[in-house]
Amino acid sequence: MTVQCGCCGAEITTTGRIDYRLNRPEQLIGVPAEQLGAPTGGLLVGPGGDSYLRCLLPVRLTGGTELVFGAWMQISKVDAMYAHAVWDNDSEYANLRVAGTFANFIAPWDLLGTPVEAAVLNADELPYYTSHPLLEREWDRDEVLSCIRQPLPIPVRETLGEVWTIERTAGMRCTVENLTVHFTSPGRRVSLDVYADRTGGSSSDFLGAVLEGYPASAEHSVEHIGTELRHAFWLSEVIDGHEEQVFHGHVVRPGTMLSVRIVHRFPADRAWAQHVLNSVQYVGATRPARR
């Protein structure tokens, strides 16, 4: 199965393993490229001679997903020289063992500077971390993957406003602009806002205030589920010279509302837009905010 990347539109293969490459050690972020040395594809040297080795960090997530970071370890200059010397010699490279300190910050953890170890497990791959705090247990899939804003090959449940969750579809990038959360991919855009109602009024009154000014002639649907009110309507709008399908959805609970605005170009995506709204869940203040 493949999905479309939200950056370039290329296909992303869906598997049980997600590879996520961290571009640089934290200490070298922002350093001009001409001041860096890269003697091999897995070694990086900073302007002060500090040396780093990229290693593979497999993190077990719930649901059978494995997230493999290509993450940096700071190592001694002696170890860096040895790694460089054996890099292209399969028999000697297979015996490579190194120790150092973790050189990346990975949300939701703070492990920068943690002592770690790595070893070559397969001569065709980078070394794998063999001693690292993240290897010790299984982690919540959505909590970890929602920290990655780039498109992913599987859907991720995001938390908004501490009390709402919604599915970010596979292949969509997540960005935050002001207080609005956006999921985007080629031909699709989801915009999410959380509103608080401090008037003490009913959910219907809260929704009515938000809808003031929208055309009453639009195709509306309203559903009451206990104390929850779900509302949606469709419009066709011209955006940047193109006619787009615009789906407005609202899920209202006493005192809070999640507003969903979905823009898509193709009518066939209507079922997908409805799926996004249907994925909204109220969880209460039981999960950390992702905004």
Q: How far apart are CA 204 and CA 196, in angstroms?
A: 14
> Which of 247, 32, 20 shows the shortest CA–CA distance to 134?
20
Q: How far apart are CA 83 and CA 255, in angstroms?
A: 59
Q: What is the pLDDT of residues 157-210, one digit of tens each?
A: 999 998 999 999 999 999 999 999 999 999 899 999 999 998 888 888 898 888
**CA neighbours within 13 Å on the CB side: how many for 84?**
16
Q: What is the pLDDT of residues 87-131, one digit of tens each?
A: 999 999 999 999 999 999 999 999 999 999 999 999 999 999 999
Query: Residue 3 pLDDT more than 70?
Result: no
> Which of 60, 68, 65, 73 shows the shortest CA–CA distance to 24?
73
- Domain architecture of the chain: domains with CATH: 17-136 (no CATH), 154-282 (3.40.1000.10)
> Which of 99, 102, 71, 98 shows the shortest CA–CA distance to 87?
98
